[in-house]
Amino acid sequence: MAREWLRERLPEEEPTAVTEAITTSKALTPYLREGAFLGVAADRPASLPELCAQTCLERGASMITGGCGLRVGSSGPLIRHADVPAFIASRQEAKTTAGAAVTPMAASFGPVNTLVDTTMGRDLRPRRLHD
């Protein structure tokens, strides 16, 4: 269903779901072509946003992240390839300020997942990807 939704909105893209655990930025490289778009909808390992951002930086790609726990969820921001270095720097600064990375929740709640998915989808309008 998600693949069809993406194809309708981004017909020039070929969605690929990565179902293996990503623990290094190099593990993601075969799935992300130059100038592509990456949607990050997993929450493990805790460093996943940084791993994905590093791959996007190397491949000239854009990205969006989303995740949730039992009572909270987050979506975005949409990070264009030109803004990936600032995203990486902000994550590093947050870790320095807050200390060690927070461990992701062990479970999530279906309705929160749906809300996060919906807000990520809202941000995937084609005009926003290429502005």
CB within 8 Å of 129: residues ≥ 6 apart: 10, 37, 62, 78, 80
pLDDT at 112 over 70: no
Considering the chain, what is the average pLDDT of its residues? 78
Return the CATH number of the domain spanning residue range 2-129. 3.40.50.720
Distance CA 29, CA 40 (A): 14
Looking at per-residue pLDDT, the higher value among 96 and 27 belongs to: 27
Q: Where does residue 113 fall: left (phi above 0), alpha (psi -120 to 50 degrees), or beta otherwise? A: alpha
Nearest in space to 94 (alpha carbons), one of 37, 41, 53, 36: 53
pLDDT of residue 127: 45
pTM above 0.75, yes or no: no
pLDDT of residue 44: 80
pLDDT of residue 106: 61
